[in-house]
Amino acid sequence: MKDYHFERDDHEFDQTIRLDDINEELKKLEKEKEQVEDDLGDKDAFLDAFESEKFDMKPVGSEPEIAKSTDGKVPPNDGDEPFLNKKTVAIVTAVAVVVAIACFALVRGMFPSGNKDKALAQNEMPMLIQGVLDGGELIVYDIKQDVNKSIAITEETVLTNEQGQISPEMQFNAGDLVLIGLDKDGKNIINISLGGEIHTIEETGLTADTAAKQLVAEGKKYSYREQTMFLYNQEEVNPKELEACDVLVLKSYDNIVWSVDVAEYHGYISVENKDNIVNGKFKLDEEEEVALVEVERIPVKEGTHTITVSGDNIEKRTDSVFVETGEVYVYDLSKAQEKVGVLIINANVTDYKLYINGTLVDSTVPSVLPLGEYDVVILKNGYTEWSQHIKLDSDTLSIDAELQKDIQFGTVVISSNVDGAQLYIDGKEMGVSPLEMSLPYGSYNLEVYKSGYEPFSTTVWVNSSSTHVKVELERE
């Protein structure tokens, strides 16, 4: 936005509209002085009349009278003539009158008349500056007339700041809400003011209800219009994008906000990789602690912020982060330091394989694990699988693992050269040959009897899925 420093083409650079005003006032002063002199009359005539008066200059007291000559005339005075004579008094009086009139006119010129101020005030209309062009041209929205128009600042325009002071060096920007007095053609600006009935207030905690066209907060409500400008660094922003942390400067007329300048805009903090944190808690600066699962994207003011995160399975951590306006700071919890515990397994076997959540780990040393829940499995040949779901929620967890031997069965087929022989396994009658049975892995004592034949006995080893025993009986 350029600085409006108006110049005349035929004057030096530093001669501004304020100096022109002073020159005009001096011209008016000369005219008023001439008018006063006309009203007083000819000064020479005044002095002649003043000198024609008979003043008795005799001193008070009993001084002797002045001697006269025989012809009645006063003899010449040999000494100096008295200073306070008629002529001197007349001159001093005339000069004092002229000085008094000049001072009055000067003071009057310095303070414009009330009627003039009143006339300007009556012409002032509220307008919203929508754009500033070269040469002092303004694109404005006239609030009272509900129209857009183009008007111009001239060398004669009186510029008044928020404090009501004339300020020739004032700058104007899009979004300024001003009071403007126009000439009779409505093209040139007579006076423009940032104060008066224009009200400015700074607020935070507001969000926009775009349907109702209101800026709202708890206990507060400001109405705005379709033409209201929302700006951040002279760039327009959508009121939907405003957050409660933003600092807004509201400029209003007649209880309607026409300009919103975002003095402090927001950025965001995004929290990622939080799913593995158990009962996570999140705290931003001095705000209340909230559940971590509820935190997604947080709008914050630009600057440094303090984040504190805790959980059942992580060490409490506090970090300082810097968030820039309009940017998203990603707060990554994938590297959060986890709380750990030691898992100790007391098994009744050795040389086993240990699996934790499906991953083979070293079974010869205790396992250091982040706090949490795990599936533990132990495998060993000749024993059934041992498994257990555990919850590691302390510094140390010790568990006992009792493995059972794995009982495997094999099919045993016993036949003999003579059918119908009686079969006994470890002394227990099992039936007659031929016979098929299922036995656990191991060794057994087999006995075979048949009338008219010699008894038969042997050891049977069952160590595979199928075992066949052929018995040859001999006659007695």
CA 261 remoteness from chain centre: 14
Q: Which of 274, 297, 332 is the last residue of a domain?
A: 332
DSSP 191-244: EEESSTT-EEEEEES-EEETTTTEEEETTEEEEEEEEEEEEETTEE--GGG--T
387 shares a domain with 362: yes
Q: Is residue 136 part of a domain?
A: yes
pLDDT tier for residue 136 given thresholds of 50, 70 and 90: confident
On whether the CB atoms of residues 370 and 338 are closer than 8 A, the answer is yes
Express each pLDDT in 438-460 by its tens digit. Answer: 998 889 999 999 999 999 999 99
* Least confident segment among 31-35, 156-160, 256-260: 31-35
For residue 210, is it within any domain? yes
CATH at 299: 2.60.40
Radius of gyration of the chain (CA): 57
For residue 437, give the 3-state DSSP assignment.
strand
Q: For the segment 281-325, what is each residue's pLDDT rounded down to a tens digit? A: 999 999 999 999 999 899 999 999 999 999 988 889 999 999 999
The domain that contains 446 carries what CATH number? Answer: 2.60.40.10
Query: Residue 326: how many CB atoms within 10 A of its CB?
Result: 13
Say whether pLDDT at 193 is over 60. yes
Distance between CA 373 and CA 357 in Å, rounded? 9
Instruction: Determine, yes or no, domain membership for 68.
Output: no
Residue 70 in any domain: the answer is: no
The Cα 334–Cα 319 span in angstroms is 14
**Residue finishing a domain among 332, 362, 382:** 332
* 97 and 14 within one domain: yes
Give residue-wise pLDDT tens across range 60-118: 444 444 444 444 444 444 444 555 555 565 666 666 655 666 555 454 444 444 444 44
Count: domains in the chain: 6
Residues 2 and 83 in one domain: yes
Strands (E), 87-234: 124-132, 137-142, 147-160, 177-182, 188-193, 199-204, 207-209, 214-217, 220-232
